[in-house]
Amino acid sequence: MLYRKKVILGFIIIFLLLTIFPCNSTATGVSARAAILIEQESGRILYEKEAHTKMRIASITKIMTAILAIESGKMDEMVTVSERAVQAEGSAVYLQKGEKIKLEDLVYGLMLRSGNDAAVAIAEHVGGSLEGFVVLMNQKAQEIGMTNTEFANPHGLDDHENHFSTAYDMAILTQYAMKNETYQKISGTETHKAPNPNEKWEREWENKNKLLTGLYKYTTGGKTGYTVKAKRTLVSTASKDGFNTIVVTLNDPDDWQDHMNLHDYAFNNYELVNLKKQGTLNKIDNEFYKNRVFIDRNVQYPLTTDEQEKVKISLSLLTPSKAWEDLKNVPNIVGQMSVKLDEKEIAKLPIYFDNGKVEKPKDTFWQLFKNLFLATVGVNKDG
């Protein structure tokens, strides 16, 4: 009887341990105060925890500093390092006052070694002053939809109360930055060498991102961060079989493990499904449009196995006009494709007429289309 009780107690203990410390890759048990996991291309949120809570972000701030430097078109210019840059506190690449260094090398030092001196030098060169650069940072944040973010410096140090963001905002910043090939390359670089002004040997910087330097084989880049007030912050990107993911954690004592678990959760539970291929649309009922309308990109979206059966695709097309007998009069954009999952629209894109050109619709297109729309032809699940 006693033996039986011990066995039962043993099973209970094992069950509790597995519940608290799951051995498989799931999105539960994330130790971060705030976290988010998104698929990179679509931006679909696959997991979130306090993702819109405003918090200190430490050095992941430097993702914004890096992308602004890259987009400035000044990467080949030489930067003269100021005394203000040299005096920046915290992590550094040990720049020297008055030295001249290429902006590109500074961005590598910023991203790989989290150099606060590099951040100030970049800000002063690109923005004209540190304060001017901060204005650019906040303008870019507004432009890409970071609605709960305010930047006060280019490095993330705790010297301003009004310097904060959210896990979600940092995810969409990373999504934006990862569209830039130069950013992708720098963020995913393990080591970089840069000239040393007063020595015979070169500076050699190794990336602080342990996920990238051997801990997680699917890692493609990211940025580490830490301050006393913000605690550990981390952004990481990963890719497996063409499925690209972004994870952001704020105030996370176990960030390396959390990031690996979250990326694995995406890879194990979702598939990046190509819902509609780029090119000519088939199964069009209207004779005028048959073999003449197309979409200019693939429609891809991360879905679970169950969700794949719930996707519906519908087409809306303008009613052909008599004037269109001359094909030169046919508008470039003649309709829209809507993709829905459980009645929620997950993608919307223009349908082009095959008139030999493809022009991206202006911001006002969808309103214009709505106003001009007379009737629809064909509502197809598989357009």
Q: How confident is the model at residue 367 (pLDDT cuts 50, 70, 90)?
A: very low
pLDDT tier, 5 (very low <50, low <70, confident <90, very high otherwise): low
- pLDDT (tens digit, 9 = 90+) per residue, 14-65? 444 444 444 334 456 899 999 999 999 999 999 999 999 999 999 999 999 9
Mean pLDDT within 164-174: 98
Mean pLDDT (the chain, rounded): 89
pLDDT tens digits, one per residue of 294-312 = 999 999 999 999 999 999 9
What single letter denotes the amino acid at residue 170? M
pLDDT at 240 over 60: yes
Reported residue count of the chain is 383
Please choose, from the candidates 15, 64, 54, 36, the residue with its C-alpha nearest in 3D space to the C-alpha of residue 174: 64
Look at residue 361 in the predicted model and tell me its pLDDT: 52
pLDDT at 333 over 80: yes
pLDDT (tens digit per residue) in 70-112: 999 999 999 999 999 999 999 999 999 999 999 999 999 999 9
One-letter identity of residue 261: N
pLDDT given for residue 359 in this prediction: 55
Q: Are 380 and 374 in contact (CB under 8 A)?
A: no
Select the more confidently predicted residue: 284 or 148.
148
Q: What is the mean pLDDT of residues 324-333?
A: 91
Residue 27 has phi, psi (to 5 degrees) of -95, 10
* pLDDT of 349 above 90: yes
Q: What is the pLDDT of residues 277-293, one digit of tens each?
A: 999 998 898 999 999 99
Sorting pLDDT into bands at 50, 70 and 90, what band is 360?
A: low
Task: Please list the active-site residues.
Answer: 59, 62, 114
Q: In a 10 Å sphere around its CB, with 0-12 CB exposed, 13-18 middle and 19+ buried, how is residue 282 labelled?
A: exposed
Q: Which residues of 90-120 are buried (b: 16+ CB within 10 A; e: fewer)?
A: bbbbebeeebebbbbbbbbbbbbbbbbbbbb
DSSP state of 328: G
Q: Is 113 helix (H, G, I), strand (E, B) or coil?
A: helix
Q: What percent of the chain lies above the pLDDT cut of 90?
A: 80
Instruction: Supply the pLDDT for residue 201.
Output: 87
